[in-house]
Amino acid sequence: MLDRQNYLKVKLFLKYSRVVHGRSSLQISNDFEHLKSLLLWAGSQPFGSVPTINTSLFDFLIQKAVKGLDQAELQSILNTNQRFLLWVKAMFPVEFQNIRLSWIMKISAISEGKEVII
């Protein structure tokens, strides 16, 4: 079972994106699909402790990826997840004090040596 608080934070982020940034419903829908991978990766762990997960988000996406996911799509998913984590750190600074900014910034960087053809 996934952590419900994680899901509620994702929903809050999507609402914030719609109201504050004026993102369209299609963009919100895409963002939610991208953030589902983060929810599945975190599993029952709260987002505040995700840096302790052994498997990186990138590796998780590679393992779980469905056929047809190209590098651009993968990068887009990582970017959305990075945007969400930056937002959540800014909005809940105490709860997410364990997540370091440098760790978040590393999320969307696809390593040069990694094979990303799926």
Partner 1 sequence: MSENQNSSNCRISRNVLIKAPGLLPMLYTPREIAEDLDVPETTLRDWLNHGAPHSRDESNHIWIDGKQFAAWVDSQRNARKKPTHPLQAGEGFCMRCNAIVKIKDGEIRSVKGHLSHLKGKCPICGGIVNRGIWNAGSSELPQG
Residue closer to partner 1 by CB (options 41, 96) is 41
Nearer to partner 1, 8 or 101 (CB): 8
Stretch that binds partner 1, among 35-43, 49-57, 82-90, 103-111 (CB under 8 A): 35-43
Q: For partner 1, which stretch binds (CB under 8 A), given 3-11, 69-77, 79-87, 98-106?
A: 3-11
Residue 33 vs 59, nearer CB to partner 1: 33
From the list 69, 66, 73, 79, the residue with the least C-alpha distance to 108 is 79
List of residues 6+ apart from 33 with CB closer than 8 A: none
CA angle 68, 76, 22 (to 5 degrees): 130
